[in-house]
Amino acid sequence: MRNQTISIVKAFAIIFVVISHCCAIPYVGAFVSLFDVPTFFICSGYFFNVKYLTDEATYLKRRVKGLYWPFVKWSVFFLLIHNLLFHTGILNEQIGNAQGGVLHPYTLHSFCQRLWNIVFNMSGYDDFLAGTFWFFRALFLSSIAMLILFKIGRKIQAFQNDRQIAWGILTVSFLLTLWQVIENLRMTGVPQGGYRDLMGLFFMSIGFLIRSYQPTISANLLPSTPLPSVVSRLKFWITGFLLLILWCIFLPTGMVWRANLQQFLSIPVPAVIGFLLFYDISQYIAKGKNIAKKILVLIGDNTLYIFAFHFCAFKLVSALKVWCYGLEWNHVGAHPIVNVGSPWDGFWLLYLLVGVFVPLLWIISWRRFTKKFHINYNKLLILLIQSLRKLCQIVAKYTVIAIKACFGHFTGFFQGFIEIIKASSPKQEDE
């Protein structure tokens, strides 16, 4: 059966990701940034199955289908509409992010370069509307690295079991990342230098180890009282929250793309605490039968879509906030939210609801539509290709007709011109 506990953990994680992008209340964003994105990598490592060590083709196929292909098709979609959005004001050259950066329309060359980068480098995506797409690349690369290193570990006699291999991967990824941060190195060929990708591998190995040690962790750390007793678990939950709050105040950190030494060294502990805390909370929720559980499971099973499109959904709330505050329309282009007014005005909650549920409603509606009319992406792609071919045939047909007509007129004009010259020839006049 599908692990609903992990689905609920992922639901919490994506909700916290959206909060970190929309909530300007002091410390709230810093608090959830301690563990929100690392949780996804830990969950991926938690589900890493060693059976794929002898079935690499299936593993690679699943990774390409689940990460690379969505990245490419959604990045290309935003690439195609980028210049169009400048006519709506959703993107503009006056209002941008908090650092003052703005976007510009793409030239033909920049369009082609970004398309090239999207396909061959998993970069080049829209900096504002698709700003979270780095996650697809980081998870894709760290997943491939996890498989390769596990296969190498199986051939090293010093490792006696898979748990020791995971410890080896954790050590190697930690030391490589430490070296990269200290020397300010960049991984050649990997966008943004590869820090997040190495950290993804590090957290994946942690996820694998957490599952390996789960019986021991449950026996020594988590409450032993049966799940239905909330009171028995409050001590663990409160302790976890207090630790995270203190960490947020004194050692703030997150999955930034260029971390300093303090940010790097201070993220593993709160990431693990956050995962264990919300895993235990999710385990309790998963035992119930209520609407909250169903919603969280639904969110957790569709985190990829929320991750990809919550920035785009934010624009709906930004438009409302621009209207409420009487701002010029181009403030809708502020990234990721309109930073005007008090952080306590409640708009962050609206950003959160829209950022989570609009992408969710869209994908649910799309699935029902495709199921009802028996449509899928492959059929749409075939239909698009057929339509383009038909359009090209029509254009070619009328182009040939136009060329023939022009050629006919030109021939007639040329012949008439020759006849006029002949008629006015001096030789004929002398005769």
* Helix-then-strand count for the chain, H and E: 18, 0
Contact 208, 45 (CB under 8 A): yes
Q: Which residues pair with 97 in a beta bridge?
A: 335
Going residue by residue through the chain (431 aa), what tens digit of pLDDT does each one get?
567 999 999 999 999 999 999 998 889 999 999 999 999 999 999 999 999 999 999 999 999 999 999 999 999 999 999 999 999 999 999 999 988 899 999 999 999 999 999 999 999 999 999 999 999 999 999 999 999 999 999 999 999 999 999 999 999 999 999 999 999 999 988 999 999 999 999 999 999 999 999 887 766 665 555 554 677 788 889 999 999 999 999 999 999 989 999 999 999 999 999 999 999 999 989 988 889 999 999 999 999 999 999 999 999 999 999 999 999 999 999 999 999 988 888 999 999 999 999 999 999 998 888 888 777 666 777 777 888 888 888 888 888 888 877 777 666 666 666 666 666 655 554 54
pTM comes to: 0.87
Spatial separation of the C-alpha atoms in residues 405 and 244, rounded to whole Å: 77
Which residues have CB under 8 Å from 65's CB, separation 6+? none
Spatial separation of the C-alpha atoms in residues 332 and 92, rounded to whole Å: 9
Residue bearing tokens 């693990």:
272
> Residues of 28-59 as b/e, b for ≥16 C-beta within 10 angstroms?
bbebbbbbbbbbbbbbbbbebeeebbeeeeeb
Spatial separation of the C-alpha atoms in residues 352 and 317, rounded to whole Å: 10
Which residues have CB under 8 Å from 191's CB, separation 6+? 117, 121, 122, 123, 134, 137
What's residue 417's pLDDT? 60
What's residue 425's pLDDT? 57
- Dihedral sign (CA 366, 372, 378, 384): negative
